[in-house]
Amino acid sequence: MRIASPHCGLDPGTNSGGETYEREILRHLARQGHVIDILLARHKRHPEGVPNWVIHRLPIGRGLRWPVALALLPPLIRRLHAATGFDLLRAHSLRFIGPAALIARRRYRLDVPIVAHHHHLDPGWLNPVIEGRVMRGVDRVVVGSEFARRQAARELSVPLERFAVVPYGVDARFREGPRPEGLVARHGLHGKLVGLYLGGLKARKNLFFLLDCWREVALERPDAHLVIAGSGPLRSRLERHAAGLGLGGQTTFTGYVAEEEKVDYYNLADLLVFPSSLEGFGFAVAEAMSCGRSVVASDRGSLPELVVDGEGGLLGDPTDRDGFARSILLLLSDPGLRAKLGAANRARVERLFRWERCAAATARVYEEVRDEWRTRRAQAG
């Protein structure tokens, strides 16, 4: 199958979950023999040497903003279809790509189905204006969890049958290994039990709550240390909050973590702590699970579809500070339990959340949509 994918980004070093998903799903679809035509701005980086990727540079030097995409992309999509005759058009971003894809098909009468990919919906007044209309206008919406399907259907009145649920994947390089001594020395963690949060420092990640919980943990376990790995707009406020709680010596903020360092950070940790209030999938959780780590996580969003409570970790209410702290303390105090839960997590990822599995299921959705489109067109003709 030949697939067109106008794109905002596929950076090899991204720390964005959505961009990670796009890079890996397109790479693995290509490995399975599908040709991917990628429309990408001139300055945007992408993995080099991927077989079956054809990069078409957009005539802009900066990233796409959605009003720009709306005007720029439709004629370029038409030109690409005339040159390649692609079988299916992807809209990886509901806001940036979705409207342009629908306009291109309608304006130029392109004989192709459109599949959108949806991650999750943060609150916003434009959601019903743009995202909802795109989801109702395309032929299928691929989501990574049942939660994402329910959320979009409930909040934007999209018919449930419009969705296909395909759990996302984790690369096999995320695997258990020895604690990296370089990181231990860098952050002064010799002799410490390490709780790790890895991800963006933004409001829905619920990190002020996590620091409040860690204060309770630190009172009972002075040998416990919280590593908050990642960057984001809340860093300075979070550092001040930690200092105000007296956690300056038991909390480390690492700043940005490069993609190639993530495995070492997971293996630095004794457990992952992840109190996010909203996730459409939860890459950090799945990657930590793949590295054989036990998890204390929120019971909101898609996370209960990743972590089986009591089998691979402990899930809790991300507003219940005492309950969350007790779960962390339980795992910190029991290395045998951590090992048991971590092994179950690794096996669960191997069984359900590898990219090869995700790409094969996504390709089946594409083929089904393509075949339905051709049948309808034949019947109409």
- List, for residues 46-96, the tens digit of each pLDDT value: 999 999 999 999 887 665 566 778 888 999 999 999 999 999 999 999 988
Contact 248, 211 (CB under 8 A): no
Return the pLDDT at 61.
62
Contact 262, 287 (CB under 8 A): yes
- List, for residues 160-179, the tens digit of each pLDDT value: 999 999 999 999 999 999 99
Return the pLDDT at 120.
76
Return the pLDDT at 237.
97
Q: Which residue spans of the chain are classified as CATH 3.40.50.2000?
A: 2-169+355-380, 181-352
The residues near 94 (Cβ < 8 Å, ≥ 6 apart) are 116, 118, 130, 131, 134, 135
* Domain boundaries 2-169+355-380, corresponding CATH code: 3.40.50.2000
Q: Which of 30, 58, 81 is nearest to 355 (CA)?
A: 30
Return the pLDDT at 60.
75
Give CATH superfamily name and number for 181-352: Glycogen Phosphorylase B; (3.40.50.2000)
Phi, psi values for residue 164, rounded to 5°: -125, 125
List the chain residues with pLDDT less than 50: none
Contact 79, 108 (CB under 8 A): no
pTM of the model: 0.93
Q: Which of 172, 191, 171, 173 is nearest to 181 (CA)?
A: 191
Return the pLDDT at 374.
94
Phi, psi values for residue 328, rounded to 5°: -60, -45
Phi, psi values for residue 106, rounded to 5°: -70, -45
**Sheet containing 313-316: order of strands:** 251-255, 224-229, 193-198, 271-274, 294-298, 313-316
What is the DSSP secondary-structure string of 254-268?
A: EE---GGGHHHHHHH
